[in-house]
Structure 1
Amino acid sequence: MVVTALRGAIGFLTRLRVGHSEAAWTAFRGSPWAFPLAGYVVGALLAAPFVFADHFPAGTVTLAYLAAVFAVTGINHLDGVADVGDALVVHGDSDERTRVLKDTTVGVGAVAAVALAVAGLALGAFGVARLPTRAALAVVVAAEVGAKLGMASVACLGTAAHEGLGSQFTERAGRSDLLPAVLVALPAVVLSWPTPAAAGALVGAFLAGFVVLWRLQALLDGVNGDVFGAVNEVGRVVGLHLGVVAWTLS
């Protein structure tokens, strides 16, 4: 069950060729804890460029990290940021925002949101590249786990605005299912022990995602696949920055 759900999570969250069976997809949808569990795998892959941070300029490592993010995870979640960006700049009720959210036209809100997300990711990665290698690896993994825990919170606490990708998770998960996801994510805080860098990254990513969920659920009168994507991307960015801040202040 664990392996099947994890395979479904990795197949959904990344571009890795792990197979897309109906059994894995079904197991994943009913297992919110698989989100942060997959975060460890994704985070380890994305952390690879920082292994060489002592041998290359921070800017080069940052570029390699950005390339790894989009090579491993694709741009589906970033597309959620774009759609949410357009919806946020609309002056209207939740129905009007949802209509814009589904519109395939790219507006200024989408451009601004994606630009801010990518810039924030690059600047966060630049800061991580200047950390000691162990701390850098810990921050990247913990930020990814925290971002995925944020996605689990969408599944457990969100209410789907309509039938679709979001409802396939929210209809199968309840508030009590968030606790196992938190327990799966907690070990990430010790990755940088005795410094609090990993804890800062994990908590920062999760809280950022939770705030995004809370705000978007109110504005859109529910959640959908774009909200999952936005929570993931914002969580990763904030997690990297707060991980660096936590290490700096320690």
Structure 2
Amino acid sequence: MQRFWSAVGFLTTAPTPTHRFTLDQQTLFWFPFVGLGIGATLSALAFLFGALFPAPVTAVLLVGTWAALTGALHLDGLADCGDGLLAPVPRERRLEIMRDSRIGAFGVVALTLMLLLKTAALTTSPVIWPALLLAPMWARWLILLAMQRPLARSDGMAARMRTALNVRSLALFALPAVLLTAALSTWHWQVAPASVVAILTALGVLRLAERRIGGVTGDVYGAVVEVSEAAFLCIASFTITEEFHWIVVVK
């Protein structure tokens, strides 16, 4: 269980038994399952909060708990990427900005918009618990996908974490998320397109990072997690209103 606890300790703030931290392919195998654990916790809290508070309050509490469960690690990466990838400066300056622990205007905007988007999606989503269950799971698998991209620099977290996975391993590690998505889509059709959009959005972030800084960093991993989760929640909140149905029928 050493690899499992290594994955839990790295990705969450949950207390873990004393163990020697190990990061290899066996540890990476557990990443999506840790995401599932985060999602299961949030789903259970969604029922509890939903029984006590109105939808907007429930959504804010869930987003706050989400950040607490991960130590805001990914949010910090998103903010750094906002400052580094969006600022109109040369590549080397972008990397310097992303190393800086201070947050700038672009980072504040990216962070605020992402938190607002997650909160708004949870407030209105008709499939809140399936979305909470799957979004963190897919996001942690997407970290494994991001690890296969070129590095922007030879040092830092991304370089230390880098573990090569072949296509077969990536597909195998994604299988639990695929099966759970397929099972839940039988009752909640939104989760299937939400999964696809989350993956495509993450690929967009990786493409942007490669164009702007030449590859990925640890901050890019965090941005991939946050952006893919927000994209999943956004699509999962989609509903076919009576007005939309009427327009489609008329056309």
Superposition TM-score tier, normalisation by shorter sequence: 0.7 to 0.9
Larger Rg belongs to: 2
Matched with 1:205 is 198
Aligned residues: 241
When normalised by structure 2's length, the TM-score is 0.86
Shift of 1:67: 2.3
Q: Relative to structure 1, is the Cα distance of residues 158 and 48 closer, same or farther in structure 2, using a 3 angstrom cutoff?
A: farther
SS at match of 1:32: helix
RMSD over aligned Cα atoms: 2.4
SS at match of 1:161: coil
Structure 2: where are the runs of 5+ without partners? 246-251
Matched with 1:6 is 4
Shift of 1:192: 4.4
Say whether residues 1:229 and 2:222 are aligned partners: yes
Larger mean Cα displacement after TM superposition, 234-243 or 48-57: 48-57
1:22-61 alignment runs, 5 A limit: 22=20, 24-27=21-24, 31-52=27-48, 53=50, 56-61=53-58
What is the CA–CA distance in structure 2 between the aligned matches of 1:237 and 1:67, rounded to whole Å?
A: 14
Larger mean Cα displacement after TM superposition, 155-164 or 80-89: 155-164
Are the equivalent residues in 2 in contact too, given 1:145–1:202 (CA < 8 A)? no
Are the equivalent residues in 2 in contact too, given 1:88–1:109 (CA < 8 A)? no
What is the CA–CA distance in structure 2 between the aligned matches of 1:247 and 1:175, rounded to whole Å?
A: 36
Say whether residues 1:185 and 2:177 are aligned partners: yes
Are the equivalent residues in 2 in contact too, given 1:158–1:170 (CA < 8 A)? no
1:1-250 alignment runs, 5 A limit: 3-19=1-17, 21-22=19-20, 24-27=21-24, 31-52=27-48, 53=50, 56-128=53-125, 131=126, 135-159=127-151, 161-189=153-181, 190-245=183-238
When normalised by structure 1's length, the TM-score is 0.86
Q: Relative to structure 1, is the Cα distance of residues 176 and 81 closer, same or farther in structure 2, using a 3 angstrom cutoff?
A: same
Are the equivalent residues in 1 in contact too, given 2:78–2:111 (CA < 8 A)? yes
Shift of 1:247: 7.9
What is the CA–CA distance in structure 2 between the aligned matches of 1:149 and 1:247, rounded to whole Å?
A: 29
What is the CA–CA distance in structure 2 between the aligned matches of 1:31 and 1:173, rounded to whole Å?
A: 12
Percent identity (aligned): 25
Structure 1: where are the runs of 5+ without partners? none
